[in-house]
């Protein structure tokens, strides 16, 4: 078993945490939910309703004219006509790289 200096272990642990959690961002879409959700099968979508409220649905599906998904309150359905704006969660390589560089600069010895 090799012994690594504590500082190297800290750097590796920090990088591992950053890379495993990765940075996510919301990408706006201009395609209808009826086209996007079955085609891309996103893990989550964020809906901005016409009344201004925002709802994040995990594992969204489309049935008839409604979008269904799981929230903290359970299964929720939203009529497509009530959706003003749709966003899809995606991996952001730029943010992940920047966060990794920041973690390295903070944890590396001077």
What pLDDT score does 24 carry?
75
User: What proportions of the chain, in percent to the nearest 5, are helix, strand and coil?
Assistant: 40, 40, 25
Q: Which helix (H) or strand (E) holds 25?
A: strand 24-29
The span from the CA of 56 to the CA of 73, in Å, is 11
Report the predicted TM-score, pTM, of the whole model to 2 decimal places: 0.65
Going by DSSP bridges, is the β-strand pair 83-91/44-49 parallel, antiparallel, or unpaired?
antiparallel
What fold does the segment set 26-90 form as a domain?
SH3 type barrels. (2.30.30)
| The length of the chain, given as a count of residues | 110
pLDDT tens-digit readout, 49-108: 999 999 999 999 999 999 999 999 999 999 999 999 999 987 767 766 777 677 667 666
Q: Sketch the domain layout of the chain as residue ranges.
A: 1-23+92-110, 26-90
How do residues 3-35 score in pLDDT, each as one tens digit?
A: 656 777 777 776 666 666 667 778 899 888 999
């Amino acid at each position: 078993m090799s012994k690594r200096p504590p500082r190297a272990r800290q750097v590796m642990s920090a990088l591992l945490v950053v890379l495993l959690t990765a940075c996510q961002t919301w990408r706006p879409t201009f395609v209808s939910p009826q086209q996007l959700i079955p085609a891309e099968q996103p893990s989550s979508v964020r809906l901005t309703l016409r009344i201004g409220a925002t709802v994040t649905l995990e594992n969204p599906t489309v049935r008839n004219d409604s979008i269904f998904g799981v929230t903290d309150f359970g299964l929720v359905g939203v009529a497509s006509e009530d959706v003003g704006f749709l966003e899809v969660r995606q991996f952001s390589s730029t943010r992940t790289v920047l966060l990794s560089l920041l973690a390295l600069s903070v944890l590396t010895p001077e």
